[in-house]
Amino acid sequence: MPKPRFTQLSPQATPFYHCVSRCVRRAFLCGIDPYTGASYDHRREWIEAKIIQLTSVFAIKLCAYSVMSNHVHMVLFINKPEIDKWDDTQIIKQWHLLFVGMPVEHRFLRGELSDSERVAIASRIDIYRERLQNVSWFIRCLKEEIARKANKEDGCTGRFWEGRFKSQALLDDQALLACMAYVDLNPVRAKMARSPESSAFTSISARIRHMQENSSGDQPQHLMPFTGNAHNDQTTCIPCSIVDYMALVDWTGRIVKTGKRGAIPADTPPMLERLALNPQQWQELAHNFEARLGQFIGSEAATRQHCEQLGYQRVPGIKNNTRFLN
C-alpha cells in the first residue's frame, strides 16, 4: 500500500526530488497517437509554459525536466532560503498569481484590515507559505490545468493523469547528477531525438539554446543554475559546473545512443571520479535510474539517515543504493 506523501517528502533531509507524472487511458501529452494518427505535439508547449510559470510562483526551482509522449519528468529543488525571505505581503501576492484569492486578502494588500481580520488572515498566510514550498501543490497546479485543457480538446471528462505522481528523494550529489542525466537523456533513450541538443522541450536543450544565444554566461531564469558563476548563491546551485555537466551528458548520451554498454571510452569524464562512480555503475544508472532505484536515492549512510528522520522501521531500496551509489 502506498505511503502518505508526507512520509516521502522531507525538505529537512533533502531539498531535491525526482517527480514523474503519467497519463491514463492512453492519453498523450505530445507526439503522434499510433492508433488514431492524431498529433499532440502542441501539448508540449502547454506543459513547458506551465512549469516555467510555476517556478516563478513557487519557492521551488527546476533542475531538470523532459516531456515524453505520455509522462513528464521533473527534478525539483525546494528553495527554503528563498521563501524564508518572503514577508506576508509577498506570500499573498505570489498566491494570487495562481488563484483569485478571498476579498479579505485583497483588503490586506490595500492595508484596509481591522485588527480582528489581521488575526484571521495570519493563519491563511501560514497555509499559503507552506503550499508555496510544497512539491505536491506544485504538481497539482501543473496537472490540473493540463488535464482541463486536454479533456476539453479531447471532448471528454474524467482522469487525464494517474492519481499519484511518483517521487524519489535525491539524498546526495551522486544521486542528483545521475538523476538529472537520466531525465535529460530520456528522449535520446526513447529514440525521440538523436542528441541532447536536438531533443525538444527538455532542460538540456533549453540550457544549450540559452548558451548559444547569450554570450554573458548567464543561465536560463527558469532553471536552477550550476556552480561556477560568481553571482550565484552556492547553497542554491547544482553542485558542479555547467561545462562538466554538459560533457557528462554528452558522453553518456553517446553510449546510450550507440548501445555500447560494455565499451567505455578512454575519455571518460573526470566527474565520474569525483562522484566516486565507476563508468559501469554510471551507465547502469543512465539507463535504469527510475526502475532500479526506489523512493529514497543516495549513499547507504544518507539513505539510512533519511529513513531514520522519517521514522521508517526498515530502509527501502538500500540494496540497490549500496550497489550503485557507494
Q: How confident is the model at residue 66 (pLDDT cuts 50, 70, 90)?
A: very high
The per-residue pLDDT for 231 is 42
The per-residue pLDDT for 41 is 80
Q: Is residue 226 within 8 Å of residue 238, measured between CB atoms?
A: yes
CA distance 280 to 42: 38
The per-residue pLDDT for 229 is 46
Q: Nine-digit cell at 71?
A: 509522462
Please, where in the chain does CATH 3.30.70.1290 lie? Answer: 12-82+134-325
Helical spans, DSSP H, in the chain: 42-57, 80-83, 88-96, 103-109, 115-131, 135-154, 173-184, 186-189, 203-213, 242-258, 271-274, 279-292, 300-310, 318-325
> Of 96-105, 224-233, 237-246, which range is least confident?
224-233
pLDDT tens per residue, range 4-17? 555 556 677 789 99
Please report, for residues 89, 107, 120, 227, the alpha-carbon distance to residue 112 in angstroms, rounded to integers and kept in the order given. 13, 5, 14, 44
Dihedral sign, Cα of residue 245, residue 249, residue 251, residue 252: positive
Q: Evaluate if residue 233 carries a pLDDT over 60.
A: no
Residue 39's CB: how many other CB atoms inside 10 A?
12
Q: How confident is the model at residue 324 (pLDDT cuts 50, 70, 90)?
A: low
pLDDT tens per residue, range 282-320? 777 777 777 767 777 777 778 777 777 777 777 777 777
Would you give the DSSP letter of residue 127? H
CA distance 76 to 273: 25
Candidates 3.30.70.1290, 3.40.228.10, 3.40.50.620, 3.10.200.10; CATH matching 12-82+134-325? 3.30.70.1290
Q: Is residue 190 within 8 Å of residue 68, measured between CB atoms?
A: yes
